[in-house]
Structure 1
Amino acid sequence: MESLVSDQRSDRRLLLLHAHPDDETIMTGGTIARYLAEGVDVRILTFTLGEEGEVIGDEWAQLVADGGADQLGGYRIRELTDALAALTPEGAAPLRPEFLGGAGHWRDSGMAGSASAQHPRALAQARFDDVVATLANVIADFDPHVLVTYDMAGTYGHPDHKMVHTASMAAIPLVEARTGRELIVWESVTEHSALHEGLASASSVPQGWRMPGPGELPSYPDDEIDAAIDVSAVYDRKVDGLRAHATQVTVAPSGTEYALSNNILQPIMSDEHFVLRSNRDRLTSGRCAADLFFSDHASDGSSDGVA
C-alpha cells in the first residue's frame, strides 16, 4: 500500500475513515472539498472496495457479486478515483484512493445476516487485532491532527461501518501512545433539523423515487451536534462527487437531492455535521464549532487551532 505520508508536512492534516467507496462523498464530500480548498493535507482511507453493493441501472448490473461477475469492487475504485478528483480544487493534484491493507485486502461484508458476511475475506470476519494494528500504522504514519470516523451505530448499522468505528476507537490510543499527541476525533452524523429542512425544501420527487418514512433515515438530535461545517462554497464539487458514484447514487435533476438504489430521496445538504468524540474541553458552551480543527475558536485569530 502506498504510504499516506506526504513529502512536506502540512500545518493541518485531516484523515477521514470510510467503509466503502461513495461513503466519503455522501457523508463528508463537502468537508473534504472545503479543507482541500483551504490547503489542508486531506487523506481518505477506505476499508473495502464495496463489492457487495447493488447497482443502479442496467449497464454495469452484471458486475454484482450475487449472481454476477463479482467485478464491482474494481469498478468502484474507478468511481472513487473520479469522485476524489471532483472534490479536489482545480490545478491541484487529485486525491488518490487509499485502502486499508491495500485494495481488496478486506472485502465488503454486505448487510448483517447476509451470506456475504461469511465470506472468508469479509471485513466482518477479519481478526479484529489485525484490523486495528493495520489501521494504527496508517494513522501513525500520516500523523493527522484531526480524524473523522463513524458513530457507534455505524451510521445505519452496516457491519463494515461498525468495524470502522470500533477499529478506530481501538487504534487511536495506540497511535497517541506512539506519537505523543492527542487526536481530535469526530464522528460523521446527520443533524435532525437539517435533514428534515432539506426534505421539506425538495422541489419535487423524481419519478420512481419516494420520500423517506418517519425515522427511516438516521439523524441526531440538534443538541447533540458539536460541529456544523459550511460546505456551500464547494457544494457543486460535492454534487459532482456524488455523480461520479453512478452505480450507487443517482443525483436528481435539481442537483439538490440524491437517492441510492432504494430510490429514497435524500437532500444534498450545504452543511455537514459531526459529534466530537475527544477533546470535549475545546467546545464552547452553547456554540457549534464551525471548524474541525477548532481554528474558529483560536483566541489569537490565527488559522492554526490545532495543538
Structure 2
Amino acid sequence: MSTGGLLLVHAHPDDETLTTGGTIAHYRRLGLPVTVVTCTLGEEGEVIGDRYAQLVAGEADQLGGYRIGELTAALAALDVAAPRFLGGPGRWRDSGMAGTPSAANPRAFVNSGDAAVDELVAVILELRPRVVVTYDPRGGYGHPDHIRAHEITTAAIEAAAAQGWDVPKFYWTLTDADLLRQHTAALARRTVDELPGALPAGWRLPVEAELAAMSTGGVTTVVDVSEVLSAKRAAFRAHATQVSLAPSGREFALSNNIALPVLPEEHFRLVRGRRGQVEADGFEHDLFAGLD
C-alpha cells in the first residue's frame, strides 16, 4: 500500500482519461502513487458503432463488465496498476442522464446515500492521500453521477478529517474556457486549410453552446501534460466503446461525434488547502506545490 499520493474520484470508466489522464500519467512519471476510484461501471453509457451495440443496458446489459477491461487497459497506459471501484465492482450502478428511468434503480449511484461516503472515507483513511481530485458542484457537464461524485468526495474529506486524516489539498477538475475555445478555433481553421480529411467522416465542430456547457472558470492550477500525451492517447484508444481518437491524435470524439481537442494542459481549482508557489502567469503548476 502506497500512501501520501494522489487520489482521483471519477464517476465512470473513461472519465479518468477524459479530464485527468495527462495528470495521472504526469505524476506516475514522477514516481508518485496514484489511485483512481471509479464509482460505477458505466452500464448506461452509449457506445460507438455497431460492434458494441448489443452490450448496452437495453440489450445484453454487459457493457459494465466490458468497460472494466477498458478501464484496466487505460490505467495501464497511464501507468496505474489496476482499477479500484467504490465499494467493489458493481456496488453502484450508472444512474444514466438526468430524467432517465435508470435513475430510479435502487442501485443507481445517485441513490447511494451515506454508504458511498463511508466507503470513500475508508479509502482516504487507508491511503492518506496528500491530494484529492474530483468534479466541481455541477459535475463538469451536469451528469448526475458526476454531481454525486462531487457530493460524496466533499463529504468524505470532511469525515476523514474528523477520523484522523485531513487531506492537505482538494481540487476540482475543470476545463478552461479560454484554452478550449483557442484550440477549437485552431481546429476550425484546419478544417478549412486542410480539407479534405481534417476530421474523420461524420465528425463536426462544437457550437458555442456546447463549448459553454463543457467549460468552466476559476482555474487556480495548470498542469502541463504535453510530455505525456502519448500515454493519454493510448488511454483514449483503450476506451473504444466510448471514445474515438482522430488519426492525427489531436482530437477525440464521444458517441455524439463532436470533435474536441486533446489539450496539452489540464486545469484544476483548489478548494481546500493552501496554494503553493504561483508562477508569473498567476497559476500553480503542481498539485503538490507547497507540500513537504
TM-score scaled by structure 2? 0.92
- Residue 34 (structure 1) aligned with residue 19 (structure 2): no
Question: Does residue 17 of the first structure (1) align with residue 9 of the second (2)?
Answer: yes
Q: Give the deviation of 1:58 after TM superposition.
A: 1.1
From 40, 56, 60, the counterpart of 2:48 = 56
Tell me the equivalent position of 2:201: 207
Aligned positions, number: 280
In the alignment, is the contact (CA less than 8 A) between 1:55 and 1:247 conserved in 2? yes
Partner of 2:85: 99
Alpha-carbon distance in 2 for matches of 1:124, 1:171: 16
CA distance in 2, matches of 1:293, 1:70: 40
Residue 21 of structure 2 aligns to which amino acid in structure 1? G
**Contact 1:228 1:288 (8 Å CA) reproduced:** yes
Query: What amino acid is aligned across from residue 210 of structure 2 in structure 1?
Result: E
Instruction: Describe the superposition over 1:3-52 as per-residue Cα deviations: whole angstroms up to 9, x where unpaired.
Output: xxx1xx45x40000000000000000000000001000000000000000
Q: Which amino acid aligns with 2:78?
A: L
* Alignment correspondent of 1:293: 288
Sequence identity of aligned pairs in percent? 50
1: CA distance, partners of 2:60 / 2:269: 39
**Is residue 82 from structure 1 mapped to residue 73 from structure 2 by the alignment?**
yes
The alpha-carbon deviation at position 124 of structure 1 amounts to 1.3
Q: Which amino acid aligns with 1:208?
A: G
Is the CA contact 1:176–1:183 (under 8 Å) kept in the aligned structure 2? no
1:188 maps to amino acid: T
Tell me, which stretches of 5 or more residues in structure 1 are unaligned?
1-5, 89-93, 295-304
Counterpart code for 2:158: P
Mapping for residues 109-148 of structure 1, pairs under 5 Å: 109-126=95-112, 128-148=113-133
Letter of the structure 2 residue corresponding to residue 17 of structure 1:
V
TM-score (ref. length: structure 1): 0.88
**Secondary structure of the residue that 1:95 maps to in structure 2?**
coil
State the partner residue of 1:229. Answer: 223
Q: Per-residue displacement from partner, 1:50-107 (whole Å, max 9, x unpaired)?
A: 00001101111100002x100000000000011011111xxxxx42010000000000
Alpha-carbon offset, residue 283 of structure 1: 6.4
Distance in 1, Cα, partners of 2:36 & 2:275: 27
Shift of 1:208: 0.5
- For each residue in 1:104-146, what CA deviation from the matched residue of structure 2 results, as whole angstroms up to 9, or x when unmatched? 00000000110111112111122x2111111111111111000
RMSD: 1.5
For the residue of structure 2 that corresponds to 1:216, the secondary structure is helix
Whether 2:248 is the aligned partner of 1:254: answer yes
In 1, distance between residues paired with 2:88 and 2:165?
Answer: 27
| Structure 2 unaligned blocks of 5 or more | 191-197
